[in-house]
Structure 1
Amino acid sequence: MPEYRRILLDGTIVETVREGEELVAGDGRRVKARDATHLPPVVPSKVIAVHLNHHSRVDEFGIGLPAAPTYFHKPTSALNSHKGAVVRPEGCKWLNYEGEVAIVIGRAARNISQAEAGQYIAGYTVANDYGLHDFRDTDAGSMLRVKGSDTLCPLGPGLVTDWDFHGKWLRTYVNGEIVQDGSTDEMRWDMHYLVADIARTITLYPGDVLLSGTPANSRPVRPGDVVEVEAEGIGRLTNHIVTGPTAIRTELGAQPTESEEVLSTALGGDWEFRGVRPPKR
């Protein structure tokens, strides 16, 4: 399956094709993939994510799926890349990973059927839909700061075409240990359904990204952790967590909180509130 990557090569943004362990630019220049400075593999006009889709995630929270999927928006300023640093702002503690498969649109789509949707997909990449749950109490309706803060949308390493999404495993690792282990077969709504559903009222343009949902066991990570997401047949996206150099401003706006809603979501809905808080991270 062809894989395309965007990198910085001698100070210029270059589109490359992966050939084994090397990335090849259109002019013939080659660079080792491990040595390349990666960029997000696509330049979307918008990033749309489904709230819940994997049955294991729904079971973890002890809730039912809605009759149809619901979505939120991640601003393009949240985009990040393979090997990029994910920033947990100073004063925040509840930054969760969410390993996902990202759908990339190949041509403008509007008012299409589910059966037609595959014709509008350019390919797929790996995503980590990080959530800064410290802001969940104030942004639960929009998820704007929870999911849209800077650096919280890594994509990559590359765009893979001709990928069959059926029966593929999806895993997340923290410091080398598996923390999420799911499958695309867990998804209530498949890739074609999601594209057709959104395109009923929102025109999707080439490069636009749809995040297809995460399996169970999203948990907090802290500065110093290395988080990797691997999707079978697509690739392995690697990022590391750092602390922001300045604290969230306190003289205006909603502040980070640690309510039961915040902790329950960050810890997977399985933490019983007995007056004892989990260890500080």
Structure 2
Amino acid sequence: MTEYRRILLDGAVVDVVRDGELLVAGDGRTVDVETAVHLPPVVPSKIIAVHLNYTSRVEEFGTALPASPTFFQKPTSALNAHRGAVVRPERCNWLNYEGEIAIVIGRTCRNISPDAAGDYIAGYTIANDYGLHDFRDTDAGSMLRVKGSDTLCPLGPGLVDDWDFRGKTIRLTVNGEVKQQASTDEMEWDMHYLVADIARTITLNPGDVLLSGTPANSRTVYPGDVVEVEVEGLGKLTNHIVSGPVPIRDDVGAQPTESEEVLSTAQGGDWPLRGVRKPR
């Protein structure tokens, strides 16, 4: 397996390859993994995410999977990187993590079978599909502001090729405490199936990203929290939560809400709510 990253090196965007604890540029320059300024490892034309895929997540919400996957889209302006700050806007309280594995397309892909999908995948990276549930009452159908607000799609730290997604552990921690943990074998639809499903009617271009779902226990995080997603063979994606200094405008559009649906979704689908941690 080879791990590719994109970093800022002496003010320029540079593609590098990981070699132990060093990142090596094509011109021979090196930078330490721990001191590098990371960028998202790919530049997608679109980011597509599946709603539900992990068995534990379905059971947590007391629902059932549909007959086939359903999807939503995150704008590319939501992209963030390893060690980047995830911004919770002022007047919003219910920002949740969702540790995921991201599929990265390697060549133009359209109307392929699941068996052929692997040939169109460049590799995999780690994602955190943050959700701003304050807007869930108005955007539940599109998930546009819920999942597409600025900074809510960290990817990284690198793109790993020749990685076998089967039987791998995904684990998310908040301030060092494990909050999510599952095996990829818990997914109803594997990576190849997801790619083939979308590519039936949507052309996937090199660099495009598909988010493959999150396990149970997505919960709210707060300014000052450090969130890490670790995937066996892909490394660890680290981000920290900050409070945005500018409040959500109240002179246009739907306003943040704290309805029963918002609170229940943010806290894991428990009705009635018990022991909800108050926002700070």
Alignment TM class, shorter chain as reference: over 0.9
In the other structure, the counterpart of 2:80 is 80
In the other structure, the counterpart of 1:67 is 67
* Matching residue's letter, 1:253: G
Structure 1 segment 69-218 matched on structure 2, within 5 A: 69-218=69-218
In the other structure, the counterpart of 1:268 is 268
Contact 2:94–2:279 (8 Å) recurs in 1: no
> Which aligned segments of 4 or more residues in structure 1 are displaced greater than 3 angstroms?
none
In the other structure, the counterpart of 1:31 is 31
CA deviation profile, 1:30-89 (whole Å, cap 9, x unmatched): 000100000000000000000000000000000000000000000000000000000000
- Give the RMSD, CA atoms, in angstroms: 1.0
Deviation at 1:271, TM superposition (A): 4.5
Hey, what's the Cα distance between the residues in 2 that align with 1:224 and 1:279? 15
Name the count of aligned residue pairs. 280
The answer to whether 1:56 aligns with 2:56 is yes
Hey, what's the Cα distance between the residues in 2 that align with 1:271 and 1:209? 34
Question: Compared with structure 1, are the counterparts of its residues 227 and 273 closer, same or farther at alpha carbon in structure 2 (3 Å cutoff)?
Answer: closer
SS, match of residue 230 in structure 1: strand
- For structure 2, the residue ranges without an aligned partner over 5 or more in a row are none
* Matching residue's letter, 1:279: K
SS, match of residue 103 in structure 1: strand
SS, match of residue 134 in structure 1: helix
SS, match of residue 116 in structure 1: helix
Contact 2:222–2:279 (8 Å) recurs in 1: no
- For structure 1, the residue ranges without an aligned partner over 5 or more in a row are none
Contact 2:56–2:216 (8 Å) recurs in 1: yes
* Matching residue's letter, 1:139: D
Question: Compared with structure 1, are the counterparts of its residues 278 and 175 closer, same or farther at alpha carbon in structure 2 (3 Å cutoff)?
Answer: closer
CA deviation profile, 1:214-259 (whole Å, cap 9, x unmatched): 0000000000000000110001000000001100000110000000
Deviation at 1:280, TM superposition (A): 2.8
Deviation at 1:279, TM superposition (A): 2.3
Over the matched positions of the two proteins, sequence identity in percent amounts to 77
Hey, what's the Cα distance between the residues in 1 that align with 2:153 and 2:254? 22
TM-score where L is the length of structure 1: 0.98
CA deviation profile, 1:184-238 (whole Å, cap 9, x unmatched): 0010000000000000000000000000000000000000000000110001000
SS, match of residue 261 in structure 1: helix
Hey, what's the Cα distance between the residues in 2 that align with 1:205 and 1:271? 42
Question: Compared with structure 1, are the counterparts of its residues 273 and 236 closer, same or farther at alpha carbon in structure 2 (3 Å cutoff)?
Answer: closer
